[in-house]
């Protein structure tokens, strides 16, 4: 096959994989509905749903990266209420959070705090961070937002052990996509940084930062949007 464009082949395969995964999810939901109540709440269900969500998140990321590469990632920013946006992200993960016994809460500085961003793109970034934090959090997850120096700051905290020191020190490399040895984490950060950068205002661009400590003592993921 001459002129085979590997990136395009991978992208269309990923697209099919995502569809397969969605069908698996639907079949699983139908199956569950037929089970008696006590079997429905089995731990295996939590594993299946969590890993399916993670897989889906990774596939979405891959597709997003492909589209970024060919400059076809649609950006459709609008004004959104942070309260609403964070609420929607937490709702999407409710079953998994419940099954892991993690209490998640939102903390928005002011009830009418607004942001200007693409909610699908930012949603996929936040979704990935949540899915990741769930793995490391002991019992609590906090998503918050506030205004800082005229920018919007969105932060996701957990009470786990935090990011490894090396990762925090070399976060620039992860963000640049230089260090992809750790698999999905590196890719996820790269994706997040690119999405943040797409948000621009008067020459200023969005960015991400990793840290430890924060309000819950564990890892903290920050995304700044101008």
Partner 1 sequence: MQDYSDKRFLVVDDFNDFLSSVKAMLREMGARDVDTANRGEEAISMCRQKRYDIILHDYNLGSGKNGQQVLEELLAARLISHQCIFVMATAESSQAMVLSALEHEPDAYLTKPFNRASLAQRLDKLVERKTLLKPVLQALDKQAPAEVLAACDRLAQQDKRLLPLCLRYKAGALRELGRHEELERLLGGVLADRAVPWAYQALGNLLLARGDLVRAKEVFEKALQTFPMQPGLYDGVAAVLETQGEARRAQEVLEDAVRISPLAMRRQMQLGKLALRNEDFQGASKAYRSAVEQGRNSRLKSPENYLGLSQALIASAGDDSLDKRALAEINQTLAELDNQYGDDPALQVRARLMQASSLQKSGDPARAAQLAAQAVAQLDSLGEFLPAEAALAVAAQLQQLGQAEAGAAMLKNCVEIYGDDAKVMDGIARLTDDPAILAGGKEAVELNRQGVRAYQLGRASDALELFRRALALQPKNISIALNTAQSLLRLGGDTPSAELLAECRACLDAVRMIPSSDPRHERYQQLRRKAFGT
Binding site for partner 1 (CB under 8 A): 18-19, 22, 25-26, 29-30, 33, 60, 63, 67, 71-79, 81, 84, 87-88, 90-92, 94-95, 112, 114, 116, 120, 123-124, 200-201
Of the pair 67, 135, the CB lying nearest partner 1 is at 67
CB of 15: closest distance to partner 1 in angstroms? Answer: 9
Instruction: Tell me how far, at minimum, the Cβ of 30 lies from partner 1, in Å.
Output: 6
- Give backbone dihedrals phi and psi of 152, rounded to 5 degrees, phi first: -95, 130
To partner 1, the closest distance from the beta carbon of 99 in angstroms equals 12
In terms of CB distance, is 63 or 143 closer to partner 1? 63
The nearer residue to partner 1, 97 or 137, going by C-beta atoms, is 97
Cβ proximity to partner 1: between 1 and 37 the closer is: 37
Nearer to partner 1, 92 or 146 (CB): 92
Closer CB to partner 1, 119 or 171, in the complex: 119
Asked if 132 and 96 count as a contact pair (C-beta separation under 8 A), the reply is: no
CA distance 85 to 120: 10
From residue 120, alpha-carbon distances to 60, 199, 205 in Å are 11, 13, 18
Output 49 or 159, the one with its CB closest to partner 1: 49
104 CB-near residues (< 8 Å, 6+ apart): 90, 93, 97, 130, 140, 141, 142, 143
Shortest CB 165 distance to partner 1, Å: 35
Least Å distance between CB 200 and partner 1? 8
Q: How far is the CB of 93 from partner 1 (least distance, A)?
A: 9
Q: Other CB atoms closer than 10 Å to residue 89's CB: what's the count?
A: 22
152-183 exposure pattern, b = at least 16 Cβ within 10 A, e = fewer: bbbbbbbbbebbeeebbeebebbbeeebeeee
Largest CA distance in the chain: 58
- Cα–Cα distance between 152 and 182 in angstroms, integer? 29
> What count of other Cβ atoms lies within 10 Å of the Cβ of residue 16?
10
State the nearest-atom distance from the C-beta of 95 to partner 1, in Å: 6
Burial of 197 (0-12, 13-18, 19+ CB in 10 A): middle
């Amino acid at each position: 096959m001459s002129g085979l464009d590997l990136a395009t082949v991978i992208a269309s395969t990923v697209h099919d994989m995502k569809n397969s995964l969605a069908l698996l999810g639907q079949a699983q939901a139908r199956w569950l509905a037929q089970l008696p109540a006590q079997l429905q709440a089995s731990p295996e269900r939590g594993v299946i749903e969590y890993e399916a969500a993670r897989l889906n998140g990774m596939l979405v990321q891959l597709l997003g990266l492909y589209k970024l590469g060919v400059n076809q990632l649609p950006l459709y920013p609008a004004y959104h209420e942070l309260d609403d946006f964070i609420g929607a992200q937490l709702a999407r993960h409710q079953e998994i959070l419940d099954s892991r016994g993690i209490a998640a809460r939102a903390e928005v500085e002011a009830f009418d705090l607004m942001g200007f961003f693409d909610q699908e793109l930012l949603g996929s970034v936040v979704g990935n961070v949540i899915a990741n934090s769930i793995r490391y959090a002991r019992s609590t997850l906090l998503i918050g937002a506030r205004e800082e120096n005229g920018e919007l700051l969105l932060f996701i905290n957990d009470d786990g052990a935090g990011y490894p020191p090396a990762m925090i020190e070399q976060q620039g490399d992860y963000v640049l996509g230089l260090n992809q040895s750790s698999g999905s984490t590196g890719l996820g950060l790269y994706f997040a940084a690119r999405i943040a950068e797409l948000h621009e205002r008067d020459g200023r661009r969005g960015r991400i930062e990793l840290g430890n400590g924060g309000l819950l003592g564990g890892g903290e993921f920050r995304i700044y949007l101008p």
